[in-house]
Copies of this chain bind each other. A is one copy, B any other.
Amino acid sequence: MAAELTVHALIAKHRPTLDQALEAIRTRAYWSPHPEHPKAYGEHGSLDAAAGKAAFDAVLGTRLDLGQPGTDDWVGGEVSPYGVELGVTYPHADVDVLLPAMKAGQRAWRDAGAEIRAVVCLEILKRISDRTHEFAHAVMHTSGQAFMMAFQAGGPHAQDRGLEAVAYAYVEQVRTPDTAEWTKPQGKRDPLALTKRFTPVPRGIALVIGCNTFPTWNGYPGLFASLATGNAVLVKPHPRAVLPLALTVSVAREVLAEAGFDPNLVALAAERPGEGIAKTLATRPEIRIIDYTGSTSFGDWLEANARQAQVHTEKAGVNTVLVESTGDYKGMLSNLAFSLSLYSGQMCTTPQNLLIPRDGIRTDQGPKSYDEVVADLARAVEGLLGDDARANALLGAIVNPGVKARLEAASGLGEVALASREVSNPDFPDAVVRTPVIVKLDGARKYWEGTDDEAAFMSECFGPVSFAVAVDSAADALDLVRRTVREKGAMTVGAYTTDEEVEEAVQEVCLEEAAQLSLNLTGGVYVNQTAAFSDFHGSGGNPAANAALTDGAFVANRFRVVEVRREA
């Protein structure tokens, strides 16, 4: 079906989109070329809902042969958080064969230049976009996200993040011209004159280490940033979330080959259970770039040990929302309730600690005591998730037994303001679906005395667990926000306040500690969501992540510029 691609045709097809992306990252206004609505798919070659589901079903139980060199085995054992065994097997690589094969095509890919690399990447993204319905099921049945979230976050939003990375990579490479004529006057003598040629060159092979919860959304920025800057890319998915990235690699290889490049520029490294190949791969001399999303401990290990590579890590953090006062009490509660519930709190951006003054807060509904705020928030969550169908659609499934265990342990950490309840999923009876728990803790006392509450709220408790932390004052809360970001890192900070001084102070804390701040969100935007081309995901300046999605620093060191100069 697919015709041979000419690079000229790809430029004609995708350059306008690239230009729009370049404009979007400059203005940071809203923009996306990837439709969010499932019904937008089904024309112009894209799969509609039924065709996407059929494509997903067709891959279940099969061997996904990517045609990679050095395949010495077939591995796989994904079980959906919804209880379905995927039964897909993937190539297991002999890396001593695969890595050299990945280098073979690098010269042609380098020589193609930044624009052709960019439009090839855009063609990959376009074909992924066309298969968004298929990818949605793959993301749903690996991450445990509910279908609609898997569709949007795993589809268009992930594609947006990939395109954003391509745009940054492109513009970074063309900041230096291809050639320059340099003529230096020498008074009465002839000028010195040189002709210079500048070539962006790749670092080598890039390694993407995928995560369980957002295989595409967190995987695409690094994958496309490295590929667009001329590197080959080896994708090592999380063993529980292989399929979405295996399909991605498959599309990338198909497009590369059709465009006349070596498909081995993108490859998959699936692993046997317990094999732990990430450590082996990460320290191979061929691997010069790493993008990782996951635990702090392995992220720290990579930063310390993968010294031959540029290492970009997104690790754990403790996200805080300061609740000091509000002019829209109802809006605040419903906004927070949604943030705590979405994907069962299994986002790196989900708020964990809600800091509430023990003397209560001012609201448009009159003063509310600490207990009232916590109770009203608990009721808001109950209301949001009272209907099981809606609860399933928002919560998705608990991604793995570790999260379930943490959730169950959380109720022992303090007074439970909102108990977690089991929700049954009629479509997937084996799915583990739970509403969030809210536990009351005391911030001020623990802050000074170092008792157990502090140990609880100063650790990341990944999953549907939030702590309503009583604090003595706004000033104490600000100190705690600062200390939390500095010591534990944070992907997000939220604050509700009508007090100009407090607003100013929380902004200053976030500027000084490099945390991304959402102020007084009461509508349909949530602290845990960021939009490509406009919002930065993480700051790269606190312990939660050493890079932000996406900025110049995320792409600038994935390539180097080599200059060749000669007399003119």
Asked if B28 and A196 make an inter-chain contact with CB atoms under 8 angstroms apart, the answer reads yes
A436 to chain B, nearest CB (A): 24
Among A520, A523, A557, find the residue whose CB has the most chain B CB atoms closer than 10 A: A557
Whether A520 and B566, one on each chain, are in contact in the complex, defined by CB atoms closer than 8 angstroms, is: yes
Point out the residues of chain B lying under 8 angstroms from A540, CB to CB: 557, 560
Which of B182, B199, B510, B516 sits near A30, CB closer than 8 Å? Answer: B182
Q: Which of A232-240, A344-352, A462-470, A528-536 contacts B (4 or more CB under 8 A)?
A: A528-536
User: Which of B201, B516, B522 contacts A511, CB < 8 Å?
Assistant: B201
Query: Is A258 close to B, CB under 8 A?
Result: no
A123 shortest CB reach to chain B, Å: 25
Tell which of B203, B515, B522 touches A541, judged by Cβ atoms closer than 8 Å.
B203
Q: How far is the CA of A524 from the CA of B510 in the complex (A)?
A: 53
B-side contacts of A534, CB under 8 Å: 180, 182, 196
Q: Does A275 lie at the interface of the complex (its beta carbon under 8 Å from any beta carbon of B)? A: no
**CB of A306, distance to nearest CB on chain B (Å):** 12
Q: In the complex, are the beta carbons of B201 and A512 less than 8 A apart? A: yes
Min CB distance A339 to B, Å, is 14
Interface: A50 (CB within 8 A): no
Given contacts A29-B180, A182-B29, A186-B524, contact A304 B303 (CB under 8 A): no
- Answer whether residue A525 sits at the interface, using C-beta atoms and an 8 A cutoff: yes
A182→B531 contact, CB < 8 A: yes
Task: Please name the residue on chain B nearest to A32 by beta carbon.
Answer: B184
Query: Is A553 engaged at the interface, CB distance under 8 Å to the other chain?
Result: yes
In the bound complex, residues from chain B placing their C-beta under 8 Å from that of A194 are: 525
Residue pair A536, B512 in contact (C-beta under 8 Å): no
Residues 146-183 of A contacting B (Cβ, < 8 Å) = 172, 175-177, 180-183
Q: For the complex, give the distance between the alpha carbons of A357 and B176 in Å.
A: 36
Which of the residues B199, B510, B553 comes within 8 Å of A557, measured between beta carbons? B553
CB-defined contacts of A27 to chain B, threshold 8 Å: 177, 180
Q: How far is the CA of A525 from the CA of B517 in the complex (A)?
A: 52
- The distance in angstroms between the C-alpha atoms of A25 and B27, with both chains bound, is 23
Task: Select from chain B the residue with minimum beta-carbon distance to A174.
Answer: B26
Option from B192, B198, B519 in Cβ contact (under 8 Å) with A566: B519
* Contact (Cβ within 8 A) A514 B560: yes
Q: Which one, B107, B198, B303, B539, contacts A28 given CB within 8 A?
A: B198
* Those of A449-495 within 8 Å (CB) of chain B: none
User: Nearest B residue to A518 by beta-carbon distance?
Assistant: B565
Residue A320 interfacial (CB < 8 Å): no
Q: Is there contact, CB below 8 Å, between A539 and B518?
A: no
Q: Say which residue of B181, B307, B522, B567 sits within 8 Å of A304 (CB atoms).
A: B307
Q: Which residues of B contact A566 (CB under 8 A)?
A: 518-521
Interface centre among A172, A185, A563 (most CB of B within 10 A): A563
Are the CB atoms of A507 and B564 closer together than 8 Å?
yes
Instruction: Answer whether A175 and B26 are a contact pair too, CB < 8 Å, given A553-B556, A556-B552.
Output: yes
B contact residues around A561 at 8 Å (CB): 536, 539, 548, 551
Within 8 Å CB of A508, what residues of B?
A: 107
Residue A409 lies at the interface, judged by CB distance under 8 Å to chain B? no
In the complex, A562 has a CB within 8 A of chain B: yes
| Selected contact of A516 from candidates B29, B186, B563, CB within 8 Å | B563
Q: Which residue of B lies closest to A557 (CB)?
A: B553
**A residues 1-57 in Cβ contact with B at 8 Å:** 25-30
B residues within 8 A CB of A28? 176-177, 180, 182, 196, 198
> Is residue A133 within 8 Å, beta carbon to beta carbon, of the partner chain?
no
Evaluate whether A567 and B520 lie within 8 angstroms (CB atoms) in the complex, with A192-B525, A525-B194 already known: yes
Please name all residues of chain B whose beta carbon is closer than 8 Å to the beta carbon of A196 when the two chains form the complex.
28, 534-535
Q: CB of A440 within 8 A of chain B?
A: no
CB distance from A518 to the nearest CB of B (A): 5
- Complex: how many Å from CA A183 to CA B522? 16
When distances are taken between beta carbons in the complex, the residues of chain B under 8 Å from A25 are 175
In the complex, the chain B residue whose C-beta lies closest to that of A168 is: B175
Q: Which of B107, B303, B512, B560 is A307 in contact with, Cβ under 8 Å?
A: B303
Q: Report how far A37 CA is from B146 CA in the complex, Å.
A: 71
Nearest residue in B to A523 (C-beta to C-beta)? B567
Residues 204-225 of A at the B interface (beta carbon under 8 Å): none
Binding site for B on A (CB under 8 A): 25-30, 107, 110, 172, 175-177, 180-186, 192, 194, 196, 198-199, 201, 203, 303-304, 307, 507-508, 510-512, 514-525, 531, 534-536, 539-541, 548, 551-553, 556-557, 560-567
- 4 additional A-B pairs beyond A28-B196, A107-B508, beta carbons within 8 Å, are A201-B512, A517-B565, A521-B566, A551-B556
Q: Would you list the 3 A-B pairs with minimal beta carbon distance, nearest first? A: A541-B560, A553-B556, A28-B180
